[in-house]
Structure formats: structure tokens, C-alpha cells
Amino acid sequence: MPSPFVYNSCWMIWCGRESRAYQRDARRVQRTQEYRLQRIVTGNQATWFGEQHRFRQASSVEQFRRLTPLTTYDDYAPAIERIAAGQANVLTAEPVELLQPTSGTTSAEKLIPYTAGLRREFQRAIRVWIGNLYAGRPTVRRGYAYWSISPLAYAQRSTAGGVPIGFDDDASYLGTFERLLLWHTMAAPLAIAECDSLESAFYATLFFLLRCPQLALISVWSPTFLSGMLQLLTAHAAQLCDDVAQGTISRNLPPSLATPCPPRPQRADQLRAILLSDSRSPHWVRDIWPGLAVVSCWTDGPSASYAAQLQQQLADIEVQPKGLLSTEAMVSIPLLNQPGAGLAIRSHFYEFQPVDNAGALTNEETLLAHELQPGQQYRVVVTTSGGLYRYQTMDQVRVVGFYHQVPLLRFVGKGDRTSDLVGEKLNAAFVQSVLEQTFAKRRLTPQSVDLAAQQHAQPYYLLRLVDPQLARAPNLCEQLRSEVETALRTNPQYAYAIDAGQLGGLRLEATAPQHQDGHAPIADSSAGPTLHHGNFKPDSLSLPTQAPHAPRPLGTAGSNGTA
């Protein structure tokens, strides 16, 4: 079988055409963006949405902006219900292949339509990243890679109309040929996603990674995901070494992973010398995987402090920031040796809402990609081939430079009162709804309510209540905590972050009114006052302090999300 270098080099060459196209179009951003919009609008003129907004008359950027208002997910909810019921030609002329779940604002879950066109838009950006990374860091091509894209251990489902919900596997963003190349270079098999628990999935992942001394690239979302994996490795080091020696995994496994692997006793002895030593080297990660060249993860906004902690664990291993990617859209692409990630100009059509340093809008009119100014902050608006038109992502970015004419962006945070420490995406409106319903069921009227993000080694949320009844009823407090936690877990990203160990469980603190003034403010809590006298409407969620100016961890150069 050819070495991973051959497959990785083939992937780099395959991505070369798109990389060269990006470099060419980086010198003509306005024309490139106008072309992207024309393709999207022209292709969807005959859809229900296109007819409602007179796409046939939208022959220019200015006409499109005049005919199509800025939108949020709530504007699409009825149309997506029709798509879920099996209707076609609603938002896009292309068939909807699947609905991808993500966290909602006022509801627990949003379903985002995915079409072949949207998939191609994501693929263009991914090819630029891979082409740039593999050419600029040739050592990455010499080994295997671990990729974490979609959550592990979640069953597939469908709508009543037969539309699949969620991707089949972690390689679904890629084309057929790229998936084949990826399959030959993966350090951990995709079948791990079939494990019946996250703990088993993580343990199996570590088993395969430890068996692979040629690991060269790790790509994850949150830095806390990898930090948690390294903690699990330390906690189960002896058992993992024994399993590597025997070629078996001492956990419940799906049939696709039940076949024993070849025993590797010599590799196990190497691992024991590294992991079970009384004086572990500060370079122990490098000792396990000598060829590990790059770790890709979020490093901006609320992830900055966790990325810095991860960099300390990784010592001299390079951490490359993610580009800004959401379920709805690919916004920016990591580029080596640049201060930020480049706008994915060949993927979607982008607009930008100017905001001040506090996140408040400063202008009702949107700007286009070629109109952005260095040092300024903006909220991102996208139009995609997936049927989202002038969609407000609420992602806030700062322009930190330019690659030719392409704006280089760094993620600052969410502009819609969404707390996102490790990918959990808790929105204030959703939290408000959860608390109102839970308190109403219990007939509670607390005088003060504050759900505050706590940024510790393992972050968690603290629900602080001022209520005389709760202050003297610890059993009721625990019941209430459990009920609120259960309701918050209807948000799939929050549930996954808890199950994966990236977030600690919800905690609750109740005090009597006379003790309220004794509360010290939470150091990492900001963005709005705590509410009192039972009025817990918009500010019952205290957002984590964001760190757009935090020192960048060593060995990095880019912005925030792809895996």
C-alpha cells in the first residue's frame, strides 16, 4: 500500500486548481463576489422564495439588496417546515439532500438545508485550506491525520417527509475522490462514530491514535475537545497501553470495530515509558507522536484562553487557527503566515454590518467585501446556494489585514447574545424560554436570575438565584437544577459539549434576598446587568468575556472553525 505521503500529496495536487483560482480571484474581489451572487440568484429565480422576492429583476447587487430584506432563521422556519414535509423548489431549485441540525436562538434546534451547490461551496474553501496547509507545511503530508468534524455518538434520523437529518459521516463535506484519499490517511476510523457512548468513542479514538506513531495532523473544533482527550489519555494510560499491546479495545464496541487489531507490544512499551514515567517530559505529546506538525482548532474569541492552555500542553507543536465556519456557511479560510483567515470569496456572497467595539450596529446599510476597512468590526451576512439569502449569521469579526484584496478576519464573538465557550451556543432568548417555563411549572418567582458562564479549566454554567424559598431547600434546588439542565440539553450543541466533557454540568446557587449584596461579580461574566425582582427577560444569560486582543498562542497564524 502506498505511504500516506502519496495520498496526501495527491490531495494537495487535487486542491491545487482551487488554490490557484483563489489566488487569482484575491486580486479581483468585487468581480468575484458579483459573479457568486449572480450564479445563486439566477439559479433560484423560479423557486417559491425567488418569486416572492422577484429574483428575475435582481440583475445587480444593488437590486438584490433592495428586493431582499436582511433575514434571520425565524424568517425561514415555515419554508423549512415545508422542505421537511417533502416539498421541493421552496428555497432552492436544487433538491435538499439533508437538513443539518444546529443550535437555535428562540428554539432548541435549527435545521439548515444542504444542497449539492452548498456542499460545493464548502468544498471550495476546504480545498484552499488543504492546498495551502499541505504545500506550506510539507511535514503534514508525511503522516496520518485525525479529523473531528461532526459530533460522535448521535443516531441518524429523518423528517416526516423523509429528508435525512444530519450528515452520514465526518467526510460528507468532501467530494468522492477526496473521501477516498482521506480514508487512506485517517489515523482513527469513521466507524468510531457508531460507538454507543461518547466515553467509548473517545477511548477508541485514543486507542487508534496511540497505535499510530506517524500522526502528523490533528484537526478538531474546540481546544477543550483535545485538552479533554489528553486528560482522558492520562487517566487511562495504563489500560490503553495494555490494549495497544494486545490489539483489542476494552470497551463496548460496534461490530465494525470488534475485529482485533494486530498486537503492538513494542509500541506499547514505548508508550509506557512516556506515559507512566514518574517524571513525564514537558514534550510528552511530541514524544508520543514525533511527526505531529500541526493542530488545527479554534483560537479566537472565547476560545483564546483555552487555546493558550492547549498550546502549553503541546509545547512546540504548531497550533493553526480555524477559519470561521458555521453550519450555515463557510466565512473564512486559514492561510499560513497571515494575521487572519481569508474571506472565502469563491464560496458564498457576503455582506457586512459595521459595529462598534461594544457590538452595536453603527450603520443600517451593509458593506461589501471590497469595502471593508482594517481594524474595523463587522457582523457577517451571507447568501448561499443552500437557500439562505442575506442571512444574518450574527458572527462578529475584525479585519486584521488583507491578502491582496481579500479581507483577513479574526472571530470576535457572537453578536446576538449567544454564549459560546466550547461550541455550545446558548442563546439568551432560548435560556429565557427555558427558565420561564421551568419556573412557571414550579410556581417560582425568584427576585434575581443570572445564568453565568464560568471560564475555568473545565468551563461550566452557574445558575444564580435570589429566592427565600430556594435558599432553605437544597433538595428543591437540586430538582430545579436537574430540570433546567434537561431543558438546556434540548440544544444539541450544549448536550454534546456536556457529554464530551468539554463543559461541566450546570450548577445552581440560591441565596436569600438579604445575602444578595454579598455576591461578588463573576470575573469572566460580562455583557449586561444581572436582573432583579423576577424580571429575567433579555439579560438572564451573562456572556463570557471575549478576548479579541488576547495574545495569540505561539505558532499560530489565522482565525476561528473547519475540521
CA distance 165 to 250: 32
Q: Are residues 52 and 165 in the same domain?
A: yes
Q: What is the mean pLDDT of residues 23-33?
A: 98
- How many domains does the chain divide into? 2
Largest CA distance in the chain: 73
pLDDT at res. 427: 75
Res. 370 pLDDT band, cuts 50 70 90: very high
Q: What is the mean pLDDT of residues 211-231?
A: 93
Give one DSSP letter per residue of 466-490, joined into a string. E-HHHHT-HHHHHHHHHHHHHHHTT
Cell of 234: 492520562
Residue 396 counted as domain residue = no
The lowest-confidence range among 65-69, 377-381, 427-431, 541-545 is 541-545
Q: CATH code at 473?
A: 3.30.300
CA distance 169 to 521: 43
Q: Are residues 314 and 427 in the same domain?
A: no
CA distance 276 to 293: 24
Q: What is the mean pLDDT of residues 200-209?
A: 92
Residue 556 counted as domain residue = no
CA distance 390 to 40: 12
pLDDT at res. 529: 27
pLDDT at res. 107: 57
pLDDT exceeds cutoff 60 at 163: yes
Q: Are residues 112 and 253 in the same domain?
A: yes
Q: Are residues 435 and 311 in the same domain?
A: no
Q: Are residues 150 and 281 in the same domain?
A: yes
Give residue-wise pLDDT tens across range 414-471. 877 777 788 788 877 678 778 888 888 888 878 778 888 888 878 899 999 888 888 8
pLDDT exceeds cutoff 60 at 203: yes
Residue 78 counted as domain residue = yes
Give residue-wise pLDDT tens across range 121-147. 999 999 999 999 999 999 999 999 999
Nearest-10 Cα torsion for 322, 323, 327, 329: -170
Residue 351: what are its φ and ψ, rounded to 5°? -130, 165
pLDDT at res. 534: 30
Higher-scoring residue by pLDDT: 299, 551: 299
Q: What is the mean pLDDT of residues 80-86?
A: 96
Q: From 272, 297, 321, give the residue that closes a domain.
A: 321
Residue 75: what are its φ and ψ, rounded to 5°? -65, -25
pLDDT at res. 285: 96
pLDDT at res. 490: 87
Residue 373 counted as domain residue = no
- Look up the domain containing 483 and give its range: 419-537
Q: Are residues 62 and 184 in the same domain?
A: yes
Q: What is the mean pLDDT of residues 357-362?
A: 78
Res. 271 pLDDT band, cuts 50 70 90: very high
pLDDT exceeds cutoff 60 at 535: no
Residue 512 counted as domain residue = yes
CA distance 305 to 78: 39
Nearest-10 Cα torsion for 308, 309, 314, 320: -30
Highest mean pLDDT: which of 98-112, 335-349, 544-558?
A: 335-349
pTM value? 0.80
Residue 280 counted as domain residue = yes
Q: Which residue has the cell 471560564?
A: 455
pLDDT at res. 106: 52
Residue 140: what are its φ and ψ, rounded to 5°? -60, -30
Res. 1 pLDDT band, cuts 50 70 90: low
> Over the chain, what is the mean pLDDT?
86
Q: From the centroid of its chain, how far is CA 326?
A: 6
CA distance 282 to 168: 39
Res. 85 pLDDT band, cuts 50 70 90: very high
Give residue-wise pLDDT tens across range 521-534. 222 222 332 322 23
Q: What is the mean pLDDT of residues 194-203?
A: 84
Give one DSSP letter per residue of 114-176, joined into a string. E-HHHHHHHHHHHHHHHHHHHHH-GGGGGSEEEE--SPSS---EE-TTS-EES-SSTTTTS-H
Q: From 321, 356, 380, give the residue that closes a domain.
A: 321
Residue 329 counted as domain residue = no
Q: Are residues 314 and 452 in the same domain?
A: no
Q: What's the sign of the alpha-carbon dihedral 48, 51, 54, 57?
A: positive
Q: What is the mean pLDDT of residues 194-200?
A: 81
With CA atoms as reference, report the closest residue to 414 among 495, 527, 315. Answer: 527
Res. 149 pLDDT band, cuts 50 70 90: low
pLDDT exceeds cutoff 60 at 545: no
Say if CB 350 and CB 369 are below 8 A apart.
yes
Q: Are residues 313 and 458 in the same domain?
A: no
pLDDT exceeds cutoff 60 at 180: yes
Q: Which amino acid is at 503?
A: L
Q: What percent of the chain has pLDDT over 70?
A: 87
pLDDT at res. 543: 54
Q: Are residues 122 and 243 in the same domain?
A: yes
Residue 487 counted as domain residue = yes
pLDDT exceeds cutoff 80 at 152: no
The lowest-confidence range among 102-106, 292-296, 367-371 is 102-106
